[in-house]
Amino acid sequence: MASRLQRSKMNNQPDQPLIGMLCWEKRTIPSALRELSKLPGNATNPLTFPFPVLYEPILGANIDTVVKQPSRVLLASMIEACQRMEKKGIRAITTSCGFNAFFQKELANSINVPVFASSLLQVPFVHRMLRVDRTIGIITADKVSLTRAHLEAVGIDRSIPVHIAGLEETTAFSHSDVDSINPLDIQHFREELLDIVTVLLKGAPSTEAIVLECTDLPPFADDIRRATNLPVFDIVTLIKFVYGSLT
């Protein structure tokens, strides 16, 4: 009880962030994704939120250690960062990549404040809002790398009907060059994304909601909503939901 009162006093400061975010090491982020990260609405853009967020890059966090092959060494670094954030008065912690769903349980068990590592945590919640015969579409950065283990770690068992589409062939996600001087064509990427959504809906016509795994996609969520007339959930909707529970 005393520790909770102490945290409450810390959080009474007007500029004290309540939400912390574990981020990729900046120098390892592919140039196209760096461009997406600057867009209004991106979770890693501080201007996306009407409240302060504490961003902490994690040494060694990159596409290989987070997406391709989740690293236990990186997990230890993320846990240490979570513990530091908790000591600073952070009340809830998220991450800058939905593939951290893989370590949701370990991260949540490492500290005494909530951890929501991935937007995919919303899938079971959305499932309960829909008819049992309806499907949830998931748009992910890499369909092959998003395994059953990732899904089950955030409560998406086989009873929840999902249809997954990946972005690995798009202009933004098909190259991992961190030093490219070629600017990303944002409008072209938007069109590619909407084409993927169209294919997803044709493949799963029972889809009644969409969840965006990738934290670079919220800037395009409204485009998807307008194109499909479906509810779209992402890491930004989740962060705002959690923040509302803390204030």
- Same domain? For 112 and 204 the reply is no
CATH number at residue 216: 3.40.50.1860
| Residue owning tokens 């009644």 | 208
Position 230 pLDDT exceeds 60: yes
pLDDT band at 2 (very low <50, low <70, confident <90, very high): very low
Contacts 24+ apart (CB under 8 A), 197-202: 197/137, 197/139, 197/165, 197/224, 197/227, 197/228, 198/227, 199/165, 200/137, 200/139, 200/163, 200/165, 201/137, 201/228
State which residues form the domain around 242. 2-118+238-246
Nearest to 170 by CA among 124, 217, 129, 208: 217
What is the C-alpha end-to-end distance of the chain, expressed in Å?
19
Which pair of structure tokens corresponds to residue 82?
Answer: 């979570």
Q: Are residues 64 and 160 in the same domain?
A: no
- Bridge partner list, 135: 207
Residues 78 and 136 in one domain: no
pLDDT category, 32, cuts 50, 70, 90?
A: confident
For residue 221, is pLDDT > 50?
yes
Six-digit token string for 9: 């006093």
Angle at 140 between CA 123 and CA 199, to 5 degrees: 95
Is the pLDDT assigned to residue 177 strictly greater than 60?
A: no
Q: What is the pTM of this model?
A: 0.92
112 and 126 part of one domain:
no
Q: Is the domain of 124 the same as that of 52?
A: no
Cα distances (Å, whole numbers) of residue 27 to 30, 61, 141, 155, 177: 8, 10, 19, 33, 11
Q: How many domains does the chain have?
A: 2
Q: Choose among 93, 84, 102, 207: nearest CA to 151.
A: 102
Q: Compute the distance between CA of residue 206 and CA of residue 92 in angstroms, rounded to an integer.
A: 34
